[in-house]
Structure 1
């Protein structure tokens, strides 16, 4: 270990106390300054991203990774908008989530406070540099960022904008600490800093997340992959179900809330499935189907059992015909990843059963899987999606970057009056 990351973390930890001491209005003003700085630095950010993209092309990078890495004027504008929207969200810090007056007169409250120093370890997506910083600072935390080598120049350019905003507000730029040296040994060093880092959030491919989980001595919130399902029930509206399949699979195949598997009730399969799969295929999807699916749609490639556990992150959809909701639920329980599951049905009893028996971080009824996202669910830009059943489950917004503690207010109450008895004259 070189100590390089420890020094960054020590400075960030010290800066976290200054961020935590700000009131909500001051933190909102800071985010406004950050948004202005990113907007002003657009040309530098795009120039840096062009250098990252050129290296990625030379390295043979293709598909979803390139899409995640790419920035353009629209995406930079989206970063600016996301920062502003986070700044406008209600402040979670100081929120009283429970208040109780005990029989002895003690007032017991649970109050949200910042976590402290949050480490983000992520790949490809340079927008995460801004989103994570904005979310962490708005919730009163400092952040330690370790992006991937493929986005190094973009991350440095975005961080420079954020640092200028911190200085403008009279705050330490170390509150947004970027690990510019992307050597893997520095990730290992970061993961050992249990005395400095309060929470680590990995965001990227399954290999990265396994590496973090297996080597961390700090708390980790994570999700390994998004194997998301659409179950088309016997009572589904055919047009609605097709819309959900198209949007869920093809709107952006390389993200974790895109559909990977579609389960179709046998009672609707013969009438609905051939045309639905033909439409998906015409729009660029590769269909991998079970034997019953292929009998109805010969254009499907034979699906293996591994296909039903796969996160393709590409325009590939695995399809299985099932005889009942029991089979659909059993399939999801076996192959799902606790991310997002969707049911298309007009039967409220069936949808309620699906909700009860599926434990994933988001269960969606008659809407697209693509809505499992912090922004669309009203959280502002998310810092990640958790499938770890700890204090946060599902998309993580501002509240997930705070913890609750007890505040107890009294007027001299003691638990053991006989022991604590003192002479009033004293």
Structure 2
């Protein structure tokens, strides 16, 4: 039941969007751009503030309540802002800072720099740093702020507790492309340029390893680490915690970023064929959107309702997944109404539509898709349902309309 999707809002920056983030409560969106700016929006798309850094803005992350946002730039600085755009903390590293992450409450954050250091902060300032033997391109902090993971060009995965104590390291076959951590820090995932995905427990035990065709460029885990989403050049992978491959999707293009909702129900992926695609947990494509430019970055809320993307041509685009289900339920309900008027028994179809809406409201998107598909199959057994069209302009209309909104013809007396 793949269909196209209309955005809730868009915003055009002056250059490529390097990274986007959305708060867990869905209220705030942040973006980092090659135009050197950090942008901060509310859910309606209203620009609340922007801040110009001294270089390309590379990465941005936001606390669950949207009260704090961390960003980094080629000006070597790490910035922490409050919701009003006030700089709470600014720290200058010795080289470009490439990646940042922040805990759910905004109480602590981690950053990785080309100066080979991993930096860890609270709101008062730097708590500690650790120097590796190569650039630190990827970092992540657990939602509770108790653990941090980093990946370095020196081929190592590093795992720390909040105090800066190095708990373990693991040497892969090449430099680290991506790392991720579960909400409570119990599990860590990493992707290396050696074309392997690594999955550890918090004690550093390698639980499984999986070889991909091309190096993993982005890896994300659901809150409980029951599901893992990985993107590579040409393919998206989806695993359970045991390492079992649940599904794969061939994109044929590089997918720079893939994100997964906290409950593992929704996977959103951006690709350099200009496509943003949303999947359910079993790998069905729910909807897609042609952004007209490479989709460089994506993010999704914990409950999977909202997702946001950033493109090469500087567009920030916001979507509401619930709109897909509402539109499809309305379309199928129109068909069931027609069939009922034709004397058909459509009680089971209508029940499935109600179940789909309720499942979507509860963010059980895989079940919502199941119910929609079931209803669609039942309707198709009755035969084709005619599409209502305006007799004047021949465009599709809704049965309850009294005037065609396209040509103005009166449809009902």
Q: Which has the higher strand share?
A: 2
Q: Is TM more than 0.5 here?
A: no
Q: TM-score range by the shorter chain?
A: under 0.3
- TM-score normalized by structure 2? 0.24
Higher RCO (C-alpha under 8 Å, 6+ residues apart)? 1
TM-score (norm 1): 0.23
